[in-house]
Copies of this chain bind each other. A is one copy, B any other.
Amino acid sequence: MNDQEKAEKIVNGMLEKDEFSRWLGIEVIEVKPGYSKLKMKIRKDMLNGFDICHGGITFSLADSALAFASNGYGNIAVALETSIAFSNKVIEGDTLTATAEEQSRNRKTAVYNVIVSNQNNEKVGIFRGTVYITKKEF
């Protein structure tokens, strides 16, 4: 099993047991060590009181992308700090894609940028996350 296959196996295992990501309807488009690309569709039960997508939904997609990109090497990584700028509104029926790209990785911590875009290629969320890399292996 090479690095790529290992990353895919880990992420598939994570998603299978991840009840909230499955409630969100997250689909894995591509995964590599240090990288992930996910997709989901915005449903009515994801909206807030202004009839637009709750910020927590966009964040959650990006946070899952962070988890899938940072865990693919084989060691369990946990999020320490995450942040998101909301740059365009998201509405029911939108299809969001989140792409997580590794910015740096040391022995103990790693940093990822995640861009969340809609079906028109407009960026709706600009996310960053720092994870702590544990010694625990999958």
Contact = CB atoms under 8 A, between A and B. Distances in A.
A74 to B, nearest CB: 15
A19 B64 CA distance: 21
Contact of A130 (B13, B21, B57, B81): B81
A115 interface: yes
Interface stretch (A1-9, A28-36, A100-108): A100-108
Contacts of A85: 80-81, 103-104, 111, 128, 130
B59 A47 contact: no
Find the residue from A45, A55, A60 having the highest chain B CB count within 10 A.
A55
Given A18-B48, A20-B56, A87 B104 contact: yes
Given A60-B56, A128-B85, A130-B80, A17 B51 contact: yes
A6 to B, nearest CB: 16
A87 B106 contact: yes
